[in-house]
Structure 1
Amino acid sequence: MPARALSAARPLSVALALLAAPAVAQAPKVPPPRAPATAPDPAFEAMRAAFEALPEAERKALQDALVWTGDYNSVVNGAFGRRTFEALNAARARTAGADPLDPRSRAAILAAGEAARKAVRFAVLADPASGAVLGVPERMVPKRSAVPGGTRWQSADGRLTLESRSFPAGSTDLEALFARATAPLADRKVTYKLKRPDFIVVTGETASGRSYLRYAAGPAGIRGFAIGYEAAQAADVDRLVIAIANSFVPFPNAPAEAPRIAAVPATKPPATGLPPAGMTSQVTAPQVTPPQVTPPQVVGTGLVVAPGRVLTASSVVETCPNLRVGAAPAKVLRSERGLALLEAAGLPAPKLPGLHGTSASEDRVVVAADGAGVSVAPGAMFAAMSGEARVTAPLQPGSAGAPVLDRAGGLAGLVARYPAAPRLVAGVVPPASFPVIPEDVIAAFLAEGGIATKPSAATAGSVGAAASAVGGAVIGLGCTR
């Protein structure tokens, strides 16, 4: 094997310790002198207050987008800390000092993150071979092959390799895997190593390559992944490592975990090449087409307005007559005036917000479901020349039926429909205008079904405060063909 190919096939990685947990420094033999107390940083505290006022889903989405813009290199958990503060300030610096937490700036950050994610076709997949869930940059690693206990994804030139691995319970332990991954090698330098009772992380470097390896232990055994790449690719791949580590769910069937699942694509011709450092070289196993996991496609958004009752736009029903809420089929009870009332089992608690008040402000908040959960988008309401109510917002597919709220959390309408082929800019749907079914039509429709509404009594607040008016009652409506 040529020397360059061997080097590229066994790359080692940069220390990205913050993906797993902060390293614990050894205690000094002599305690250092106590540092003088410092006054709170007003800028830090102000940004903390603004960030923590957002709902958790929005905080996590913002952190995830900042990973993709190259500003944030830590765990996506919705918690505010120094790294989040620095990432938001980096975003501020690129926008001539604009507040990164105002609605327009947040929308721009989310759009930039989504564009970067879509540019590499990053998909969070259920890997049947290992049993784990992890993100895969499918455009960068189009070659897929089976390996014992996992799957290997590789770039066309073999310079980038991502591999999932698994070991049955009792076949090995984290101690042995950690020892093997950190064993001295003449051409490798371990740049970071972390061992905890339930997971390990090891990163390293060679003269031309880098790698990141992570394993987690559970009742079903050990599952993990490793990624290896050339040092020249670090500018692009380092943020991918962070995104993959944040997406990794080793045991998705555990009761406490609810990962985003997407189907693994059909198998491709087997690839050759050695696995990343810290992993044992294996002969590629015969190609096997794994069973695919195909969840219902999210085609719309519903609002739980009463026990067992979901309000959505009738365009969602017209798009798919076989709607589902999770695993339960949804029965159409009524469909008229652009609205539909569905019946389904296993719904969250209903939360019907008060109706839009008389505020002159046209600022709006759209709370929509998508394949990843629930998204919150700031927008503005206006009346078209035809008199039709419309909202301008950066909405994504699945937003038909989404509640449109004013800044006090009052229900101002529902998104009536979403285009079948939306316009894309850099792979992302930019802000556009969408028709809205107004609140008076909603009130009359619900009243005919025995569901009473009332005016909103709240005062205007932040985007997050407004979105909290519908709490967990916004759900995705899936479609089975």
Structure 2
Amino acid sequence: MPRPARLLAAGLLPLLACGPLAPAAVAQTPGPGAPAAKAPAPRPAGPATPDPAFEAARAAFEARPEAERRAVQDALVWAGSYNSVVTGAFGRRTYEAIGAWQAKAGGPATGILDEPARAALLAAGEAARRAARFTVAPDPATGLVIGVPERLLSKRSRIAGGTRWQSPDGRITLDTKAYAPGETDLDALFAQSAAATPERKVTYSLKRPDFTVVTGETAGGKFYIRHAAGPAGLRGFTLSYDKASRDMDRLVIAIANSFLPFPGEAPAAPPRPVATGAEPAAPATRPTAGPPTGQPTAPATGTGLVVAPRRIVAVLPGSCAGPRVAGEPARVLRRDDASGLALLDGATPPGASPALAPAPAAPGEAAIVLAAGADGPTVTTGEVAAAGLLAPLQPGAAGAPVLDRSGRLLGLVARLPAQPRLVAGVLPPLTHPLVGLAALKTLLGPDAPATPARDTPPLTAGAIAGRFAGAVVGVRCGG
């Protein structure tokens, strides 16, 4: 695959085809054509009756010390059954991963590991880790800690500001990078990482005040970019690999889980848009910046947009009773049952609200989505499509504002699947319907934000998020 100049200019490595991993390293992965392992049935969406099997599995798992719980999750990663963050917290993903591993081993998928099964799982995970010669160690060039599959990435060299590990044929590359304080900022790195070109498609992007994550693909490859900010500056890594290698998705998860940008400092919270249960989902093989400091926070039912003092517009299901905004009770002033739009009276934070766009967006136009996440607002890039918005959105983004590249409001996300599924560890972009400008203007009436009299210049995704993140609040139904 050629090395396009635009990819190099964007700070990415060439994404070239790579060979398979050593057989011992993938012994736990089903071969092509193998029947899919049957995991425990997914939990129904909404406030369902507690699942006795799930609750029994949770009790058994949580009876173990935290170090043992984390070891089980790590072994599940190496066994190819778990594609989330290793935290030691039990949730639906851990439950299904244990069941999937049990099914592959030929036993009943109970989600509960007895002592022999637990020992077998840990042994299988350790065997896969050793086969890959996965070594977690400080990188002297940057100061960060990261895990490297040294059997696969056996070539090591210094690069400007960091270290490069490559496969012998140079087709899989892991780069670390450190920036001194003031050398650059997260906004600039995020804009660079999330830039799309005809040869380069961004499949997931997330920006928080102290870290960014961007994943994407080219014609033949995938890339994963992670940056974190701290008192010592910025640190991160970029991994590029062939999209045909299913085994690399598992290694990306292991590398991401090992990443610690500032060892010795208080760890930053990991990117954790939550799906179901009490553990973080893994959009785009999302990494952790270190052990979490507390239990993950349950996600909001949806996202509300502050349009004026004590005025929030949201998309609510018809069954929504007792809405709460940012944890406080809110009152429904007006609603439109056809679109699900509702105007709420509730406590609102200070901050700027986006103006309405002068016209609906055309298909193919870039868009930014600001949603209420478990740890604060998240920003995701997408593209306007004929049927709505094409973007990798997480639960909690229903009602999230969709903005154009000038930060003007194009509409709200209408609804989302209750439990989106990952494909090869990556949350795929899906087309989500939008509530458009006409419906917003009709519902809001005099409360509708004004439309600017003239065009405004385009902004970076980071600048838009920084300007309007304060106008995004979590909305929950039923207290």
TM range (shorter): 0.3 to 0.5
The two structures have a TM-score, normalised by structure 1, of 0.47
The two structures have a TM-score, normalised by structure 2, of 0.47
